[in-house]
Chains A and B, each alone.
Chain A
Amino acid sequence: MSLPKILGDTLKNLFKKPITLMEPPEKIEPVEDYRGIHRVDYDKCISCSLCAIECPALAITMVPIQVGDKKKRYPKIDYGKCVFCYRCVEVCPVDAYIVSNKKPQEDTKRVMILYSPEEWFKKKTSKSTSS
């Protein structure tokens, strides 16, 4: 019986740093065009609701928002349901989606995994009133 062929590898790895990273402190950098968190530019959005119709995971719902004196429907994204397939980014006729390579953040609070138009318009109205 000969010596196991793996012995060389084992000895070599004894003096190496571990390959696994301790994520939270250390971070694995995704590639540049990684399908990460995506946002909606509600100024561009024309409320066609194509993204909500096409979403395979039903993560996008259209919510009514009062803008000025008009009531319009805008997409709300639930990242708990989202599978990051970027179908919504693809079908949007006005390219209103802003893409990034950030990995979705895990959180116990439900607010963190929702992206809704309410806050966007609240911020916008507060900005316009202050200035």
Chain B
Amino acid sequence: MVTANSDEKYVVEIPVGPQHPALHEPISLRLKVEGEQVVDAHVVSGYNHRGIEWLAERKTFYQDIFLVARTCGICNAVHGAAYVQAVEDLMGIEVPPRAKYLRVLVMELERIHSHMLVLAVLAEVLGFDTLFMLMMRDRERVMYLKELVTGNRVHADFMFIGGVRRDLPSDKKDKILKHINYIEERMKHYEKIWAEDPIILKRTQGVGVASRSQALLHSLVGPVVRGSGVRSDIRLIDPYDAYDEIPFNVVTRDEGDTWARMMVRIGEIYESINMVKYVLEHLPSGPIIPWKTIKAAPRRFPIGEGIGRVEAPRGELLYHVVSDGKPKPYRVKIRTPSLLNIHNGVFMMLDQYIADIPAIFASFDPCISCMERVIVVDNKNNRVLRIPWRKLADREYVEKIFR
């Protein structure tokens, strides 16, 4: 029984989650609160570990293209692109220019719908269900465009080692332009709502602030760090595919709060729309894979390793593929952006009110099931194992500690 003492402050621990803390995904937040204010918070994850890295070692290089895309439902084409980039780095394949542009097209369409989703979800978290419904209705048009280009509205399965799997006929360009213009018009309307609606401003401005130095110290990535005024974007600092030829701006804001992060996303939607238009205009002609047909793709993989890193809608996504010359990869290491943002971004929740926690958490755009990794806790010696990056790429070492 807790006895209240007027002189002494006492702290209550509140579990938020593991069912639907902010998004409809399983993660648990343990908040220690003093009255209404959070004094300590930590994240408990591991409810949705699926062992994708383990499975990737037991399938062939070509099967893995489709497996790694299933890591995340929303950013599946980006996962495929990062994996394929790592394998191309391993094999030393040069991608044809048309394939590069088509990859950018699909990845930017994905960025538009991913950002529209989180803008809608945050509106729902704030209790603004009308905006949620309207944004999701318009997001369906982007999903249709993705279906038009790739053949499925969610799982693109568009990337292939050396290029892409299907070409874009010229008659589809007008359809894409028509819908993308409509989305741009609607986004202007939504930007006005996000920038001027008094309820949204009161719930998000000054909530969950991360200063520029804090964001860098906690190594946050993606729109979260750009909302704190850091110009960090893999498309800019390490251009892949056709990003070195396509003009775009990196959107940043200096406020560093929940509202700034959402405004960065709105700005990025405009940039993506412009990039889609640019790609459709300047799409080079030529083959989409370096071989005659997709059936002629090489079956032998050299010994070595490759790195693929792309700017996913949520931030930097990294793939490390190690090959020992067999048809199956020796190791596939995935580092998703949500891993950094969720675990390191907890400091933003301190000194905030409980009611603001879902809004702060949703503003990270967390993707929980693609983030889950195993943490090894040695109960005998009472310690948590810290494994260096190099060692993590060694499958035998990793298997030894789990035994």
Residues of A that sit less than 8 Å from B by CB: 1-2, 4-6, 9-10, 13, 19, 30-31, 33-35, 54-57, 83-87, 90-91, 93
Contacts and interface: CB of A to CB of B under 8 A. Distances in A.
Contacts of B134: 6, 9, 13
Contacts of A57: 66
B197 A5 contact: yes
A35 B152 contact: yes
B151 A35 contact: yes
Contacts of B294: 90-91
B148 interface: yes
Nearest to B67: A56
A87 B152 contact: no
Interface string B65-103: 111001000000000000000000000000000000000
Given A30-B147, A34-B151, A85 B157 contact: yes
B193 A5 contact: yes
A34 B165 contact: no
Contact of A87 (B66, B130, B148): B66
A56 B193 contact: no
B59 interface: yes
Contacts of A4: 197-199
Interface of B: 59-60, 62-67, 70, 128, 130-131, 134, 137, 140, 144, 147-148, 151-152, 155, 157, 165-166, 189, 192-193, 196-199, 294-295
Given A5-B197, A30-B147, A54 B62 contact: yes
Contacts of A54: 60, 62-63
Most chain B CB neighbours (cut-off 10 Å) among A2, A57, A90, A93: A90
Contacts of A87: 62-63, 66
Contact of B165 (A1, A2, A90): A90
A6 B165 CA distance: 42
B131 A90 contact: no
A57 B69 CA distance: 12
A2 B147 contact: no
A33 B298 CA distance: 27
